[in-house]
Chains A and B, each alone.
Chain A
């Protein structure tokens, strides 16, 4: 028979020795060092003010995004209320009849961005590869800086240059040739059909590509540099070529960061305004051909906002802005998550 308490009696009593007390105290101290803080050293008023002041500013940064969302939503509401879901699917953009649909602008944004990514991703990969693996040490910094300067040049300069210098050359020497040679090819023929005007979706995409290349390159460089040398050296030691090391060791190791960098470029390309406004042609028409003029969300805003008459027109433009902000926000948020997953990217402030 077991009586209550009998077992407990038999257990050794945990008598705390002096040493245990010291250990306990040290453990408490490790968890909560502030028990040792004398009252006089508690946060003083200036300290609390400083903390609250800087904290408020940080909070302001956070609130600005909410403020942008709310004000765009409120501005866009009349149009969204009037057109409803039709706003997203409508292809009409007619200020005279006050009929607005965003599909053409959204399509233009996505297509010009797709062209840009198609060019910029391999280009950035090549440049990052050159700088991290190929370039002699003395050349790394000049080349890196030069590529980063591409990002510093204002968007409007790209636009002007695209319109006055690139577009005429492109129209005279490249477009007719491309149109002729791809004429019979299915799909490609339709993509590169149309009058050689120089401006249009393709030109916009190409200039966007040059503009976002420095951003993608910067992230790729940073994550490539994160690959432990030992990893690469062991591959080289097994007799791998540089190409094999890059494609089979470096890329798999850094793929999340690389995708993050690509998303960052994507976010930039979607919202880029002035360069695109100059060269896309600003036509509210849907065309399959990349040589036809089109428009993007940002170009529509830049061109029409100040001329918009009537509440529905302005509101429709606000709604376009809201759509753009939501798309870029999601893309950039994904980019940040992916890049954070590998490392914090070095500053890309230009």
Chain B
């Protein structure tokens, strides 16, 4: 005969074990993914991976053009998106605050943050590729910038809001105009946090494939001209992995490992930077 007390104990134990199992299950996938990536990718990363361009099936080659293309697109996307994001975030934190318009922008921004990235690709296709008549690196860059903006707006605003108002008031009391307060006091205090946001946005877009599929397209040759279709790691991985050729698969694994490593390192780095900045959060 089970008493009420025993039943409650049992029930408690069951729920807690399930919670523990769920956590182990979640971590198990992460471990499995990373282990596969390493075991499959490591042996295919050789010096030629970084020096030769993407080969036709059946011959040797590397990913040099895709790596350079990815770096160009990512840097370009951040260069366009980050300033817009930082300024918009500044407006929300310093001027908009709880005004209706700021609340609306914040709301829309949070939706953009989670909106499907392939939609950005379709949008840029309609707005840029159709208008200019051809696929180009610029289009890919803009699609990536659209993904950077909401990330940076959000982090910038959050970080600037952490700066106590007393600091702003102190600067204003000394006679500093508001723009000066923002630039020399608030930006300075929130500098690391804003940078972290930019870093996280780099991590986010360096693996993005969907928005590049029909904007930057791909290019099997060496190209650094953003006016033309440009090779980039995610799309090359997609193409190679979906192909029937064994040696293309191997290059895809190498590319996948390179991307994942850089994204994870960027993420961890950003976290460490942020943590040192704000102990206890």
Contacts and interface: CB of A to CB of B under 8 A. Distances in A.
Interface stretch (B51-59, B61-69, B71-79, B176-184): B176-184
Interface stretch (B20-28, B42-50, B163-171, B219-227): B20-28
A75 interface: yes
A31 B64 CA distance: 64
Contacts of A271: 114-119
A9 B260 CA distance: 87
A59 B237 CA distance: 36
A273 interface: yes
Prevailing SS type, chain B contact patch: helix
A258 interface: no
A336 B12 contact: no
B118 A50 contact: no
Interface string A137-171: 00000010111011011111111110111000000
A65 B108 contact: yes
A178 interface: no
A149 B105 contact: no
A273 B118 contact: yes
Contact of A336 (B88, B107, B264): B107
A58 B19 contact: no
Interface stretch (A16-24, A286-294, A297-305): A297-305
Contact of B87 (A54, A67, A143): A54
B114 A74 contact: no
Contacts of A64: 112, 146, 149
A72 B234 contact: no
B27 A321 contact: no
Nearest to B182: A50
A52 to B, nearest CB: 10
Given A301-B118, A349-B200, A155 B15 contact: no
A129 B260 CA distance: 28
Contacts of B123: 67-68, 71-72
Interface string A112-153: 000000000011111101110110000000010111011011
Nearest to B207: A154
A348 B241 CA distance: 29
Interface stretch (A182-190, A195-203, A326-334): A326-334
Contact of B241 (A131, A217, A278): A278
B154 A347 contact: yes
Interface residues of A, number: 95
B30 A150 contact: yes
Q: Is the interface of A mostly helix, strand, loop or mixed?
A: helix
Interface stretch (A78-86, A93-101, A225-233, A239-247): A239-247
Nearest to A245: B12
Contacts of B241: 159-160, 163-164, 278
Given A150-B29, A244-B8, A298-B118, A349 B125 contact: no
B126 A164 contact: no
A46 interface: yes
B213 A305 contact: yes
A129 B119 CA distance: 34
B192 interface: no
Contacts of B260: 153-154, 157
B177 A46 contact: yes
A50 B87 CA distance: 9
A110 interface: no
B109 A134 contact: no
B23 A130 contact: yes
Contact of A154 (B112, B209, B249): B209
A332 B111 contact: yes
A160 B256 contact: yes
Interface in B73-131: 84-85, 87-88, 90-92, 94-96, 101-102, 104-105, 107-123, 125-127
A336 B254 CA distance: 38
B22 A59 contact: no
A59 B88 CA distance: 8
6 tightest CB-CB pairs across the interface, nearest first?
A271-B116, A154-B207, A126-B22, A54-B91, A241-B12, A50-B179
11 contacts: A51-B95, A60-B84, A64-B112, A150-B26, A160-B252, A210-B26, A305-B213, A306-B217, A332-B115, A349-B151, A349-B197
Interface of B: 8-9, 11-12, 14-16, 18-23, 25-27, 29-30, 32-33, 36-37, 40, 84-85, 87-88, 90-92, 94-96, 101-102, 104-105, 107-123, 125-127, 146, 149-151, 153-155, 158, 177-179, 182, 197, 200-201, 203-204, 206-210, 213-214, 217, 234, 237-238, 241-242, 249, 252-253, 256, 259-260, 263-264, 267-268, 271
